Structure 1
Amino acid sequence: MANVRRFFRYDVEIPLYFETVDVQGRHLRVNRDKLIKRQEAFHLEELDHDIRELLSEAFSPTSDALRIFHMLNHRIDYMAWLLDDIIEGHDPRLRHDYKFRLREDRKITPPEVSNVSKVGPLIEGFYLQVSDHLHELIESVQNSIDGKIFLFPRKIKPNFDETDYVSNLGELSERGILPAKALELLIQKLNFYETVFARLKEAYHSISDPGSWPVMPVNISAGGFSFNTNETFEKFAHMNIFMQLDDNILVCRGKIVLNKALKNSEFAYKIGVEFEFLSREHAEIITLFEQHRELQDAMSLASKNGLALF
């Protein structure tokens, strides 16, 4: 049954954030060059080279240490692979090897390290830190909107710090102790991607935190909404829309269908937005919210005027 209130609009004030997008529905929030500086990229290449060289030449092919360090390095590369697609606004799930990589990583178990090893807790902490980052990235991909809008509701996690586990890793590395040298390089590589991840989350903060969205007066229905503004918007431009309706957070797509100049108003334009591909569930949430606000306003007005509704 069609929504009979689809075009019944009502004036409300709600936390609302929106942004125009390209023809593919993507909004690249930051330029890659701002996330990864040229000098940092060169340093990463050097790190990768040093790690490969150390692991291939300094450890026995059958050693447990080599297996652990290869596993840790592989998981950092997996983290980088996910980050790279999100930065570009691509859905990693569309890649032919996404499910394979996901399954293979889930097969990896925490490394078994000696209880008496000084770097044992460091390796375990390192593994858990990478696991936490991977879990958050995969969660963001799986909860993305159409694989184009990625949300990061979690707070930024501090970079991994080896001094939380050992105080002399750098000294051990300088003395030529190979496991310490390998861990030092791997930590530098992880810290690099943690820094990039933090920058990415900061860039997406405006859409990840409803508390940062401006409260705007809009005229809304399940069909769309309108608002007055002094900003200019191109007619028929598409946009991503983020709004909070009581306890519900809605993310949907819209198209600007009205761009009307206003006279004798503090605002320059009236903008009308039509929802595109709105799900039935979201349409019902909007309609119920609208009806609830309408009833609240009616009861408040009746109370103010000393009238009884029933």
Structure 2
Amino acid sequence: MSQVLVGVFDSFGEAEQAIVRLEQGGIARSDMELHASNLSADTAGSTERPVVAGSAVTNDGDGEGVVAKIEHFFGRLFGSENHPEDVGHYKEAVRRGGALLTVTVVDEAHVALVRSTLHEAGAVDIDERVAHWKSTGYAGYDATNPLYTPEQVAADRQAFSVVRESLDVGKREVETGGVRVYSRATETPVSETVNLREEHATIERHPVDRVATAADLKGGSIEVRETAEHAVVAKTAHVIEEVVVGREASERTETINETLRGTEVEVERVEGEKGAVKGAAPGTTTVASPRTATSDGVESVDPLKPL
């Protein structure tokens, strides 16, 4: 059983890139059909038939041609009557400057590849896109509505960024000071008291009156030495303290208080004049979600959800 996956793109160029990626993934070019008008956002005003990877692709010059071919394609899948509502949404996407890429997958093993490739190439979520259109007055595809002009296509693609600041708190090491240790010689005057002893010779004379003896008549001599103590100074160095220089780590918790800025986008419904062409308002964010169409003999698969 073959399966048909349908991807809607905002521009012809995105659809072209999807084709290139699919071919690189092994999907045959003959299994793909691309429908878009020359009013696609990136091919406005083009009169040449685009070529992708050497093969011509369908780029219908007017709205009637591309819509007719889309109807013919889905007619082959579902028959000429009772088309699903999604078919009208696909035609509406092309009317608004989009491109429609259909891929017939013969090998079921390639379904996941096709889904992811369409997603990565920028296929929009048709359900979200239709919900946005309905918020601006879309009530279903109307074949009487003209194609979007290039100006309308550009306005429909206008985007408003929703900004949110995030707080990233990191750490950096800074020098907060330190210590420097010096070692230098010092001199300190000191005073000490010491007792010194001295010995002096003494002579004493005493008057006497006696008869001299022979010993008294002998000559002789005697010597008495005088002594004195002097202070002797000696110095010895002693280590009385050691100063050890190092570092130790400590931790503290600091609370950072900041104000984060951002923007919000509000969508307001603006009523238009009666008879005016209803257009899509900007401001939607799209994600890939190609849908699957089926016919007799074509197996159905669930719509591709955002990956």
Band the TM-score falls in, shorter-chain normalisation? under 0.3
- State the TM-score, normalizing by the size of structure 1: 0.18
Higher fraction of helix: 1
Q: Which has the larger radius of gyration?
A: 2
Higher relative contact order (CA 8 A, sep 6+): 2
- State the TM-score, normalizing by the size of structure 2: 0.18
Higher fraction of strand: 1
